Amino acid sequence: MSRITERFRACRSAGRTALIPYITGGDPSPEETVRLMHALVAGGADIIEVGVPFSDPMADGPVIQAACARALAAGTTPARLFEVVRRFREDDPDTPVVFMGYANILEAAGYAAFVRDAAAAGVDGLLTVDLPPEEAGELADEAQAQGLDLIYLAAPNTSTARLERVCAVAGGFLYAVALKGVTGSADLDAGRVEQQVAGIRRVTDLPVAVGFGVRDPQSAAALAPCADGVIVGSALVRMIGEHGAAPDLPERLRDAVRALRRAMDETTTGGDS
């Protein structure tokens, strides 16, 4: 069983919704990313998403675009992010790590080499935003050989027929995109998301995590009861952007995650355990 699957099982039996924070790898620097990953876990993260910075992050809003630019300016490369995960794993063998990024980084490295290096470093899953299943054949073969979960998106406008095709190849969890828009958008409608998640559950037994547009403890808490996981990105990345040079950035980040954790747990206590 993969580390991701195992973690969702553990969350489910503890009656809590998994908290999945996203940070852009290498922002403000690759060295700092190791510390920030531990801070996320200290705050109560169940799974960590690390963004692999790309020069042209088409699916991201201004907050994560700026983080990609900072990470690239700091000299971040996939090789350095593999090193970040290796160092994180020295102290944390348990928390699953997902790399989220764009197809061209994998194209440039070669799918086989990227997957091999990711697996060797201790990465558990890959979410490649602009690589839908139809284009992911080569990646899927490699990921299966190396035991990496390939995580796919389900959008509000993904048809049921297509959802079935996506779920047939998806691993780890299904990432439900909560709104039509880029990351960091604001018009989240919890009632509609609940219906979307219910629709996904009719198609798959995979855990369903919801992301895009979760801005604060309140919106995380609103989504927690209907999902197996809640993903929070731009809100944390904005904080890193604003306090990147502050010596207490890890503590600030930990506290922000802790606030999300607490708000989510309050709405899910006595949940489906």
Partner 1 sequence: MATKAEQYGGDPAVGQDGHFGRFGGRFVSETLVGPLEELAEAYAEARRDPAFQAELDRELRDFVGRPTPLYLAERLTAGAGGARIYFKREDLAHTGAHKVNNTVGQAVLAARMGKTRIIAETGAGQHGVATATVAARMGLECVVYMGADDVRRQAANVYRMRLLGAEGRAVDAGTRTLKDAMNEAMRDWVANIDNTFYIIGTVAGPHPYPTLVRDLQRVIGVETRAQILEREGRLPDAVVACVGGGSNALGIFHPFLDDAGVRLVGVEAGGEGLASGRHAAPLNAGRPGVLHGARSYLMESDEGQIIGTHSISAGLDYPGVGPEHAWLKDTGRAEYVTVTDAGALAAFHRLSRTEGILPALETSHAVAHAECLAAELGPDATVVVNLSGRGDKDIATVAAQEGIEL
Residues in the chain: 273
| Residue 116: burial class (beta carbons within 10 Å; 0-12, 13-18, 19+) | middle
Question: Which one of the listed residues 46, 60, 149, 228 is annotated catalytic?
Answer: 60
Q: Enumerate residues 30-49 that contact partner 1 by CB under 8 A.
A: none
What is the nearest approach in angstroms of partner 1 to the Cβ of residue 237?
16
Question: Is 139 one of the binding residues for partner 1 (CB under 8 A)?
Answer: no
Catalytic-residue membership of 265? no
> Which residue in the set 177, 193, 214, 249 belongs to the binding site for partner 1 (CB under 8 A)?
177
In whole angstroms, the minimum distance from the beta carbon of 187 to partner 1 comes to 9
Q: Identify any residues that bridge with 51 across adjacent strands, giving them in sequence order.
A: 24, 100
Q: Does 141 bind partner 1 (CB under 8 A)?
A: no
Q: How far is the CB of 109 from partner 1 (least distance, A)?
A: 7
60 is known as an active-site residue? yes
Question: Which residue lies nearer to partner 1 by CB, 88 or 152?
Answer: 152
Site string for partner 1, 110-129 (x = CB under 8 A): -------------------x
Q: Does 107 bind partner 1 (CB under 8 A)?
A: yes
Q: Is residue 159 within the footprint of partner 1 (CB under 8 A)?
A: yes
* Contact in structure between 211 and 230 (CB atoms under 8 Å): yes
116-122 CB contacts, 8 Å cutoff, 24+ apart: 116/142, 116/146, 117/78, 117/79, 117/82, 118/82, 118/85, 118/146, 118/148, 119/146, 119/147, 119/148, 120/82, 121/82, 121/83, 121/85, 121/86, 121/89, 122/85, 122/86, 122/88, 122/89, 122/93, 122/97
Active site residues: 49, 60
Q: Which residues bind partner 1 (CB under 8 A)?
A: 54-59, 61-62, 65, 69, 72, 77-78, 102-109, 129-132, 134-135, 152-159, 162, 166, 177, 180-182, 185
